[in-house]
Amino acid sequence: MWRELIAKSHPDHEFRPATSEEQLTAAEARLGVAFPAALRDLLRETNGACGEYSLGLVWPIERIVKDNLEFRSFPDFRDLYMPFDPLLFFGDAGNGDQFAFVILNGAVQRPDVFVWNHEDDSRTWVAPDLERYLEWWADGRIKT
C-alpha cells in the first residue's frame, strides 16, 4: 500500500529494502517510544522514501533513531529550542524544517503530523495522518 501511494504521489521517489521487525523494535527501544502503526507499516515496506532531490519524505530507520537522539541530547539546543522529547521526527522539508509525530506517555497516540520550524521553533499541524502528509506534500498543500 505505502509503496503504491508514494510512487503515485512522488514520481521521483526512491525506495530502500524493507525494515525488519527486529530493527523496528530496537529503534523503539532506543528512542523509548512506540512508533505509530502507519509508520511501522511503511517502514516494513520500505526503509524510508526519498523524494525529488533526495528529499527525506520518510527517513530510513537509522536516521530516525540518529536524528531523534541527537536533537534530544545536543546541549546547545536546550538554550535555543523547546524540548524535543515530545516529538518523533521522521522526515524533513529540505530546508531545515522537520516533520514529526507528537509523543505522549511514551507513544504516538494520535496520527497527526506536525512540522517543526527550525527558525522560530514553532510546531504546526500539517496533516491528519501519514497518508495525507505524503499526498499533501506532493500536491503542495504542505508548505514550509
| pLDDT in the model for residue 49 | 83
Residue 34 has pLDDT above 70, yes or no: yes
Report residue 2's pLDDT band, with 50, 70 and 90 as the boundaries: confident
Strand blocks (E) in the chain: 14-15, 49-50, 56-58, 87-92, 98-104, 107-108, 113-116, 123-127
pTM: 0.92
| pLDDT in the model for residue 84 | 96
| pLDDT in the model for residue 97 | 95
CA pseudo-torsion sign 46, 31, 93, 109: positive
Task: Considering only residues 17 and 126, tell me which one the structure prediction assigns the higher pLDDT.
Answer: 126
Mind listing the pLDDT tens digit for each residue in 44-88?
999 988 766 566 889 999 999 999 999 999 988 988 999 999 999
Q: Would you put residue 37 in left (φ > 0), alpha (ψ -120 to 50) or beta? A: alpha
Q: Which residues pair with 116 in a beta bridge?
A: 98, 123
The span from the CA of 85 to the CA of 103, in Å, is 8
Hey, is 70 helix, strand or coil?
A: helix
Mean pLDDT of the chain: 91
User: Are the CB atoms for 69 and 88 separated by under 8 Å?
Assistant: no
- Domains in the chain, CATH or no CATH each: 2-138 (3.40.1580.10)
**Amino acid at the residue 99:** F
Classify residue 34 by its DSSP letter.
Answer: B
| pLDDT in the model for residue 9 | 75
**9 CB neighbour count, 10 Å cutoff:** 17
Mind listing the pLDDT tens digit for each residue in 8-18?
877 777 778 89
User: Are the CB atoms for 140 and 12 separated by under 8 Å?
Assistant: no
Minimum mean pLDDT range among 51-60, 66-75, 96-105, 132-141: 51-60
Residues 104-124 have a mean pLDDT of 95
Hey, is 33 helix, strand or coil?
A: coil
